[in-house]
Structure 1
Amino acid sequence: MSTYLLYQRDDCHLCDLALEILAAARLPEFDSVYIDDDAGLEARYGLRVPVLRDACDARELDWPFDSARVQAFMAG
């Protein structure tokens, strides 16, 4: 499992933008978690996606974020 998880939906314009920002911020490898078919994840993240989560310490970065915020998030 990667250190970072990106919670997202299928066919989500904001999620597509988030992926571009994560690339620009040079986020190391991360796993995408699609919430669409999981009732628990839908309840938790449904209105918040995209959400970047640090799997090590459970911190989360809600949308909207930019490259600078992602880099600060990675720095802890």
Structure 2
Amino acid sequence: MNRLTLYTTLGCHLCERLEAMLSALHYGEYRLEKIEISEDEALMARYGARIPVLVDAAGDELDMGFEPPRLAAWLAERHWLDEAAWRRLGAQFEPHGQARDERERTNQRPSGRRYLG
């Protein structure tokens, strides 16, 4: 079982998002210890502007783990990524395929109007 620490604070919606994605993307069992930073000045100074911060047992930190590609890459480095779950979830975070690429090349808005870019 993997042991992880999440530096968080009450009402942190990004922390909640990270937790939800972690439960979807982590392969196998893990234990998540949540550390409330608002109760400790040193933790506030270290993590206040960076939360959520996810830390593995070796002390390696992940800032902005609420961004799915960042979390997936961090988990993959540790061989903890559920590849099938990432394929399903990751598709939602890719640019909208050919249509977006084509719009960028032709400088078109989604409505089809051209603009100077």
Q: Smaller-chain TM-score range?
A: 0.7 to 0.9
Deviations 1:14-55 (A, max 9, x none): 111111111111261111111011101100000000010012
State the TM-score, normalizing by the size of structure 1.
Answer: 0.81
Larger proportion of strand: 1
In structure 1, what residue type is equivalent to 2:44? Answer: E
What are the ranges of 5 or more consecutive residues in structure 1 without an aligned counterpart? none
Tell me the residue number matched to 1:62: 63
| Letter aligned with residue 47 of structure 1 | A
Structure 2 CA distance for partners of 1:49 and 1:73, relative to 1, 3 Å: farther
Aligned residues: 74
TM-score by length of 2: 0.55
RMSD (CA atoms): 2.1
8 Å CA contact 1:22, 1:70 repeated in 2: no
The residue aligned with 2:18 is 18
Counterpart amino acid of residue 75 in structure 1 = H
Q: 1:58 to 1:15 in 2, by over 3 A?
A: same
Identify if the C-alpha distance between structure 1 residues 14 and 74 changes in structure 2 by more than 3 Å, giving closer, same or farther. Answer: same
State the Cα distance separating 1:73 from its structure 2 match: 4.3
Q: Which structure would you say has the larger RCO, counting Cα contacts within 8 Å and 6 or more residues apart?
A: 1
In the alignment, structure 2 segments of 5+ residues that lack a partner are 81-117
Structure index of larger Rg: 2
Runs of 4+ more than 6 Å apart: none
| DSSP-derived class of the 1:71 partner | helix
- Residue 41 of structure 1 is aligned with which of 40, 43, 46? 43
Hey, which of these two has a bigger chunk of helix by percent? 2
Cα–Cα, structure 1 residues 52 and 73, in superposed 2: closer, same or farther, change >3 Å?
farther
Preserved CA contact (<8 Å) 1:25 1:70: no
Moved more, 63-72 or 16-25: 63-72
